[in-house]
Amino acid sequence: MSTGSRLVIVGVLVLAVGVAVALRRDDAPSSTAASASAAAALPRLVDVGADKCIPCKAMAPILEELRQEYAGRLRVDFIDAWKYPDQAAPFNVYGIPTQIFFDPAGRELHRHLGFISKEDILATWRRLGFSLTPGEKS
């Protein structure tokens, strides 16, 4: 068997494995969908970043403040795209940090790439029709 034939066979095998993995990922139940149903009827902010990315590190205290101040009114999740690429993949993120705003039904409403302040996050929720205030349900 010639070297060219071996390369073609190896290439076909690599492609077949890639397709099989992609198909399995699409057929597998999404942990995102399962966790969305667990937090019934809450708008959700997902921040896809990495704990070693400088703008992502700047987002961490903001996300924690939102998580605490709006508990029971807003779900705030962080996914480390470098540590858990399989969890980040369904969000189709091309740069980090990316914040994705979801309505209570799990529909994506808006996405933002880069650092965003707490005030801008809350303003975005208001523009999207959610008046989130600490201590009150939306």
Distance CA 17, CA 126 (A): 45
As a 3-state breakdown, the chain gives helix, strand, coil percent values, each rounded to 5, of 50, 15, 35
Q: Which of 53, 58, 89, 132 is flagged as catalytic? A: 53
Is 115 annotated as catalytic? no
Paired sense of beta strands 44-49 and 75-80, if any = parallel
Name the nearest CA neighbour of 76 among 51, 59, 58, 89: 59
Is 53 annotated as catalytic? yes
The beta-carbon contacts of 53-57 under 8 Å, at least 24 apart in sequence, are: 53/82, 53/96, 53/97, 55/96, 55/97, 55/114, 55/115, 56/96, 56/97
Which tokens sit at 82? 């470098």
Q: Which of 48, 56, 59, 96 is flagged as catalytic? A: 56
Q: List, by residue number, the catalytic residues.
A: 53, 56
